[in-house]
Amino acid sequence: MLHTIIRISLFSLVLITGIVSAGGTDPTAEVEIIKFKFVPQEVTIKVGESIRWTNMEKRQYHSVWFEQTGEPEPDYLFPSDTFERTFDKAGTFPYRCGPHPKMTGTVSVE
DSSP 13-72: HHHHHHHHGGGS---EEEEEEETTEEESSEEEE-TT-EEEEEE--SS--B--B-GGGTPP
Q: How many whole angstroms separate alpha carbon 81 and alpha carbon 71?
A: 20
Whole-structure pTM value: 0.74
pLDDT value for 68: 94
- Residue spans of the chain under pLDDT 50: 1-25, 27
Task: Compute the mean pLDDT over every residue in the chain, rounded to the nearest whole number.
Answer: 82
Q: Are 44 and 20 in contact (CB under 8 A)?
A: no
Q: What residue spans define the domains of the chain?
A: 26-109
- Assigned CATH class of 26-109: mainly beta
62-71 pLDDT, tens digit each = 999 999 999 9
